[in-house]
């Protein structure tokens, strides 16, 4: 897919300075970190590797994406779509998805696989119910959520900490705070974990998922989760839907 270098953008303007078209522009990124910028006629994802951008445009956690090893190489790109006219989010997302597949010469398919997962159950009681209040935007609730992880120490590093891993074991969580349904709770946890999370709580409604940090040296998040919220997370195997990408 055509990817001509953009002109220098105007200061403070997040809209990429490409001529409007239906072409997805893909360029090597010099952007520090990642950025997600959009409007009614453009969408720009900057500093993402291929699995990361697929996660965003398909609204799917990375652990449910199967990408060939030679494509999951950590190279970072800027992806930009500037349209000739206004379009709704769903249509723009479809154009982005097709543009990624065309640029990298990929085909995608949904597949069910037996995988190692974490299963969430609530055998004894429910978490505290979320009290009714003003109608909150769902994205506001999710954006206010927080999960803290315990980063392993590495002897010899200047600060003693290891590089931040892309995915964590469930035991690395140290505390969290979130509100919403149990499906939203599971999806939030899954974002940074090394396995999919399967919700088998059968709980309906909205809850407060707040687990206080430990006051001891031992990280016993799973014990605190059961004690404070009545939820159990355990390793298991389940049939899970994933999105697989293969070269054409």
Tokens of 159: 């600060």
Distance CA 126, CA 214 (A): 21
> What local confidence, expressed as pLDDT, does residue 126 receive?
95
Secondary structure of residue 43 in the 3-state scheme: strand
CA 63 remoteness from chain centre: 9
Phi and psi angles of residue 125, each rounded to the nearest 5 degrees, phi first: -165, 175
How many other C-beta atoms lie within 10 A of the C-beta of residue 129? 10
User: Tens-digit pLDDT profile for the chain (248 aa)?
Assistant: 333 333 333 334 589 999 999 999 999 999 999 999 999 999 999 999 999 999 999 999 999 999 988 888 989 999 999 999 999 999 999 999 999 999 999 999 999 999 999 999 999 999 999 987 665 555 555 567 889 998 766 555 555 445 667 789 999 999 999 999 999 999 999 998 999 999 999 999 999 999 988 877 777 999 999 999 999 999 999 999 999 999 98
> What local confidence, expressed as pLDDT, does residue 229 receive?
97
> What local confidence, expressed as pLDDT, does residue 195 receive?
96
Q: Give the contacts of 109 (CB within 8 A, at least 6 positions apart).
A: 243, 244, 246
- Dihedral sign computed on CA atoms, order 238, 239, 245, 248: positive
Helices 89-104 + 50-57 axis angle, to 10: 150
> What local confidence, expressed as pLDDT, does residue 159 receive?
53
Q: Give the contacts of 108 (CB within 8 A, at least 6 positions apart).
A: 101, 243, 244, 245, 246
How many other C-beta atoms lie within 10 A of the C-beta of residue 136? 13
Indicate the pTM of the whole model: 0.81
Contact 42, 83 (CB under 8 A): yes
> What local confidence, expressed as pLDDT, does residue 4 receive?
37
> What local confidence, expressed as pLDDT, does residue 7 receive?
35
> What local confidence, expressed as pLDDT, does residue 12 receive?
41
- Dihedral sign computed on CA atoms, order 212, 213, 214, 215: negative
Domain ranges of the chain: 24-104, 115-241
């Amino acid at each position: 897919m055509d990817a001509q270098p953009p002109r220098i953008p105007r200061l403070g303007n997040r809209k990429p300075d490409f001529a409007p078209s239906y072409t997805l522009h893909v360029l090597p990124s010099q952007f520090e970190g990642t950025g997600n910028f959009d409007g009614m006629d453009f969408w720009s994802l900057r500093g993402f590797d291929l699995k990361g951008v697929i996660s965003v445009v398909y609204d799917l956690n990375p652990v449910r994406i199967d990408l060939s090893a030679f494509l999951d190489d950590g190279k970072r790109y800027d992806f930009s779509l500037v349209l000739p006219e206004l379009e709704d989010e769903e249509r723009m997302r479809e154009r982005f998805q097709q543009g990624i597949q065309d640029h990298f010469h990929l085909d995608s398919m949904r597949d069910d696989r037996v995988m190692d997962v974490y299963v969430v159950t609530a055998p004894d009681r429910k978490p505290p119910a979320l009290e009714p209040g003003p109608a909150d935007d769902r994205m506001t609730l999710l954006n206010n959520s927080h999960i803290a992880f315990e980063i392993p120490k590495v002897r010899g590093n200047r600060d003693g900490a290891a590089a931040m891993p892309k995915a964590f074991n469930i035991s690395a969580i140290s505390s969290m705070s979130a509100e919403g349904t149990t499906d939203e709770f599971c999806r939030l946890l899954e974002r940074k974990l090394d396995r999919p999370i399967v919700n088998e709580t059968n709980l309906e409604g909205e809850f407060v998922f707040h687990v206080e940090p430990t006051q001891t040296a031992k990280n016993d998040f799973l014990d605190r989760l059961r004690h404070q919220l009545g939820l159990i997370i355990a390793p298991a195997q389940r049939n899970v839907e994933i999105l697989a990408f293969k070269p054409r």
